[in-house]
Structure 1
Amino acid sequence: MHTRPTLYSITKPEPKVDLQFYSSDERQAQRLTARLKHVAVVHWVDTRDISGTREPIYLAGLPLILLDYSPTEAERSSMLARRLMMGAPGISLVGVGSIGADKAGGVLAALRAGVSEFLDIDAKDEDISELLMRVHGDARPAPAALTPVPHSHGRLVLLLGVRPGVGTSTLAAHLGALVSPGRTSTMGADEGPKEAQVILLDLGRPAGDATLYLSVPNEFHYENALLGARRIDATLIRTAFTNHDSRLTVLSQAPGTLGKPADTADLPVLLDRLRHHFDLLLTDLGGLPVSEVPLPLLREADEIWLIADQSIGSMVSLDACLRQLDELGFRDGRLFLVINRHDPDDGVSAGKIAKRFNLRLAGLLPDRFRALRASANQGLLLHQVAPRDPYLRALKLLLEKLRRNLQVEESPVIVRSWWKQLFDRVRRG
Structure 2
Amino acid sequence: MRTFLACTSQESDISWLQGALSEMGHVLRVGQRLDALFALIEATGATLVFVGMDRNNMSSQCALIESLLEAKPLLAVVVIGDGFDNELVIAAMRAGAKDFITAGLRSSEVSGLVRRITDRLPALPVRREQGRLILLVGNQPDADAALVAAHLALRMQRPDQRTLLVDLGVPTAESLDVLGLEPSFVFSDAVRNLRRIDRSLIDSAFVAHDSGLRVLPAGPGDGRLEHYSSSELFLLTATLRQNFEHVVMNLIGQPDSEMLRNFVAQADRVCWYVDPSVSCCRRNLELLSQWRVDGVKLEHAQLLVDRYYTSVAPAAKVLARTFEMPLLAALPASAELRLRARNQRGTFFQLAPRDALTRAVGELATALAPGAPTKRPGGLLRRLAGGWS
TM-score, normalised relative to structure 1: 0.54
Question: Quick one: distance in 1 between partners of 2:258 and 2:146?
Answer: 17
1:323 aligns with: 289
How many angstroms does 1:167 deviate by?
2.2
Say if 2:257 is the partner of 1:300: no
Any idea what SS the aligned residue of 2:177 has?
A: helix
Contact kept in structure 2, 1:161 and 1:168, CA below 8 Å: no
CA spacing shift, 1:332–1:216, aligned 2, 3 Å: same
1:278 aligns with: 244
Contact kept in structure 2, 1:365 and 1:394, CA below 8 Å: yes
1:393 aligns with: 359
Which AA in structure 1 matches 2:148?
L
How many angstroms does 1:383 deviate by?
2.0
Say if 2:322 is the partner of 1:345: no
Question: Quick one: distance in 2 between partners of 1:368 and 1:263?
Answer: 37
1:184 aligns with: 159
Contact kept in structure 1, 2:167 and 2:175, CA below 8 Å: yes
1:167 aligns with: 144
Say if 2:203 is the partner of 1:226: no
Higher mean displacement: 312-321 or 324-333: 324-333
Question: Quick one: distance in 1 between partners of 2:295 and 2:240?
Answer: 25
Which AA in structure 2 matches 1:224?
D
Q: What does residue range 69-88 of structure 1 map to in structure 2 within 5 Å?
A: none
Any idea what SS the aligned residue of 1:404 has?
A: coil
Contact kept in structure 2, 1:155 and 1:279, CA below 8 Å: yes
Question: Quick one: distance in 1 between partners of 2:260 and 2:330?
Answer: 27
1:241 aligns with: 206
1:109 aligns with: none
How many angstroms does 1:238 deviate by?
0.6
TM-score, normalised relative to structure 2: 0.59
Q: Which runs of 5+ in 1 are unaligned?
A: 1-141, 143-149, 186-195, 407-429
Contact kept in structure 2, 1:199 and 1:281, CA below 8 Å: yes
Question: Quick one: distance in 1 between partners of 2:290 and 2:180?
Answer: 34
Q: Which has the higher helix share?
A: 2
How many angstroms does 1:161 deviate by?
2.7
Structure whose CA Rg is larger: 1
Question: Quick one: distance in 1 between partners of 2:258 and 2:232?
Answer: 17
* Correspondence for 1:365 among 331, 336, 339: 331
Q: Deviations over 1:164-212 (max 9, x none)?
A: 23721110011111223xx223xxxxxxxxxx61101111112111122
CA spacing shift, 1:358–1:154, aligned 2, 3 Å: same
Q: Deviations over 1:317-360 (max 9, x none)?
A: 22112123224432421110011111111132101111222111
2:61 aligns with: none
1:251 aligns with: 216
Q: What does residue range 12-411 of structure 1 map to in structure 2 within 5 Å?
A: 151-165=128-142, 167-180=144-157, 183-185=158-160, 197-255=162-220, 257-260=222-225, 262-264=227-229, 265-291=231-257, 294-404=260-370
How many angstroms does 1:369 deviate by?
2.2
CA RMSD of aligned residues (A): 2.6
Question: Quick one: distance in 2 between partners of 1:257 and 1:266?
Answer: 14
How many angstroms does 1:266 deviate by?
2.0
Contact kept in structure 2, 1:197 and 1:248, CA below 8 Å: yes
Contact kept in structure 2, 1:178 and 1:246, CA below 8 Å: no
Q: Deviations over 1:360-401 (max 9, x none)?
A: 111111112232112211122222222222210111321111
CA spacing shift, 1:364–1:179, aligned 2, 3 Å: same
How many angstroms does 1:152 deviate by?
4.5
